Amino acid sequence: MITGLDCYNKWGDPNTLWDEGKYMVVWNVPEYVWQLIPSIPRRIYCNKEMIVPLEAAFLNIINRGLADELRTWDGCFQVRAIRGYEELVKKLITQGDIEKAMLYMSIHSWGIAIDINAAWNGLGKKPQMSKELVKCFTDVGFEWGGDWRRMDGMHFQLAYLEKTIKDAA
Ligand SMILES: [Zn+2]
């Protein structure tokens, strides 16, 4: 599973970064997507690495006749700690232990996670989402928070980061 530390190593600390543009982009969602899935916004501010898998997931949803099941879009980019670790992150940053602090940052901080149907899929609650809808995402490279021990049914995040040139060497 991708951690905030992996994202930090690739893109830096989102708390202090001034050049979000090196990994974030305003994605103009293709017209067919928001016409066929009305809950999807016309523009999504997300990590560049999200565009291909996210469009593939939306296409799965359309092709599999599940557009009605995506009831609300609840966001992508938000710089914050994993819920419940806000104070710990502050403390670690104050102490200068940035790498450890990054482990407790939400992946939303780098724009590689999304939340959907949040009202019915609260953190720590039993997810109310069909296996078929989940599969639209997991088939194309997303990991589902509903599979975690602390269930987060609204949450999907990239399962892998694209290899950097440095990693490949
Ligand atoms: Zn989330």
Q: Check whether 169 has a pLDDT greater than 60.
A: no
Rounded to the nearest angstrom, the distance between the alpha carbon of 9 and the centre of ligand 1 is 21
Rounded to the nearest angstrom, the distance between the alpha carbon of 169 and the centre of ligand 1 is 32
Rounded to the nearest angstrom, the distance between the alpha carbon of 147 and the centre of ligand 1 is 13
Rounded to the nearest angstrom, the distance between the alpha carbon of 111 and the centre of ligand 1 is 10
At residue 21 the predicted structure's pLDDT band, cuts being 50, 70 and 90, is: confident
Q: What are residue 45's DSSP bridge partners? A: 26
Rounded to the nearest angstrom, the distance between the alpha carbon of 117 and the centre of ligand 1 is 11
Decide if 111 contacts 23 (C-beta within 8 A): yes
Rounded to the nearest angstrom, the distance between the alpha carbon of 90 and the centre of ligand 1 is 20
Q: Check whether 162 has a pLDDT greater than 70.
A: yes
Phi, psi of 32 (to 5 degrees): -60, -30
Torsion on CA atoms 22, 144, 27, 40, rounded to nearest 10: -160
**Average pLDDT of 86-106?**
96
Q: Check whether 77 has a pLDDT greater than 90.
A: yes
Mean per-residue pLDDT over the chain, rounded: 93
Rounded to the nearest angstrom, the distance between the alpha carbon of 64 and the centre of ligand 1 is 24
Rounded to the nearest angstrom, the distance between the alpha carbon of 4 and the centre of ligand 1 is 13
Rounded to the nearest angstrom, the distance between the alpha carbon of 98 and the centre of ligand 1 is 22
Give residue for tokens 């200068």: 96
The amino acid that residue 3 corresponds to is T
Q: What is the pLDDT of residue 122?
A: 95
Q: What is the pLDDT of residue 33?
A: 98
Report the share of the chain in percent with pLDDT over 90.
89
Q: Check whether 19 has a pLDDT greater than 60.
A: yes
Taking only the tens place, the pLDDT of each residue in 121-144 is 999 999 999 999 999 999 999 999
DSSP code of residue 3: -
Q: Check whether 18 has a pLDDT greater than 80.
A: no
CA distance 165 to 169: 6
At residue 165 the predicted structure's pLDDT band, cuts being 50, 70 and 90, is: low
Q: What is the pLDDT of residue 163?
A: 74
Taking only the tens place, the pLDDT of each residue in 42-76 is 999 999 999 999 999 999 999 999 999 999 999 99
Rounded to the nearest angstrom, the distance between the alpha carbon of 141 and the centre of ligand 1 is 16
Q: What is the pLDDT of residue 60?
A: 98
Rounded to the nearest angstrom, the distance between the alpha carbon of 155 and the centre of ligand 1 is 4
Transcribe 69-114 into DSSP letters.
G---B--S----BPTT-HHHHHHHHHTT-HHHHHHTB-GGGGT-EE
